[in-house]
Structure 1
């Protein structure tokens, strides 16, 4: 899976929660989120990538 696509999807997902164009997370957190999403998707190939991204970002924001 293309890592750049996942990063772009994460950034777009954060736009739902924050009005500014700047990313409200560090590069380290972005890397962690990307790896987490790729792990989940690898473990469950049939899962919808859009839903996985949204679920992981939401979980990250609410923890």
Structure 2
């Protein structure tokens, strides 16, 4: 369940930066982002998932 939520949040976050509904990354990169987000949330349970997703996507796009 949480993985599906993270994918939906990633999609919404990319929509802030791109006008298309498609995610401009490969499936392998998406899996990597999901794992990174879930690991961060596991390490810091009090952290807001929305902020984690935004931070990870922003970092991905700026690097």
Q: What's the TM-score, normalizing by structure 1?
A: 0.96
Q: Deviations over 1:4-30 (max 9, x none)?
A: 000110011000000011111111111
State the partner residue of 2:10: 10
Let me know the Cα RMSD of the aligned residues: 0.9
Structure 1 segments of 4 or more deviating over 3 A?
Answer: none
Q: Secondary structure at the match of 1:23?
A: coil
Which residue of the partner structure matches residue 42 of structure 1?
42
For structure 2, the residue ranges without an aligned partner over 5 or more in a row are none
Cα distance in 2 for partners of 1:22, 1:56 equals 18
5+ residue gaps, structure 1: none
User: Partner of 1:26 in structure 2?
Assistant: 26
Task: Give the 3-state SS of the residue equivalent to 1:58 in structure 2.
Answer: helix
